[in-house]
Amino acid sequence: MDSIAEAVKVLEEVIKTMKGSNMSIGINCNGSELYNAGTKKYEMEGAKALFDTTQMIDFYVKFLADHPLVTYLEDPMSNEDLPGWRAFIVYI
């Protein structure tokens, strides 16, 4: 699979086929591994896609809206991005 969205879609399809299932999906985002402290940007797909804090939060909000079975994100923001954590808290 080429992306996390593709993997989540497959999981969602499997869960939907399980009658009476109340399963959901959790993702460990490991935001600190994506964060470049020098540029203060998140590197999605390496340097090909650089997101500032607001763009990263927008990405997560859209991703969660598109994938309602994803109910848990672990470490979405970097430990070094305290303003990002404060802004992200609004969405939880």
pLDDT mean values, one per 10 residues, the chain (92 residues): 85 89 92 93 82 94 93 95 91 68
d(CA 53, CA 77): 8
**Interior CA angle at 46 toward 84 and 34, to 5°?**
30
pLDDT for position 20? 78
pLDDT for position 45? 73
pLDDT for position 74? 95
pLDDT for position 54? 94
Contact 41, 52 (CB under 8 A): yes
pLDDT for position 46? 64
Cross-strand bridge partners of residue 42: 35, 51
Q: Phi, psi at residue 21, to the nearest 5°?
A: -75, 140
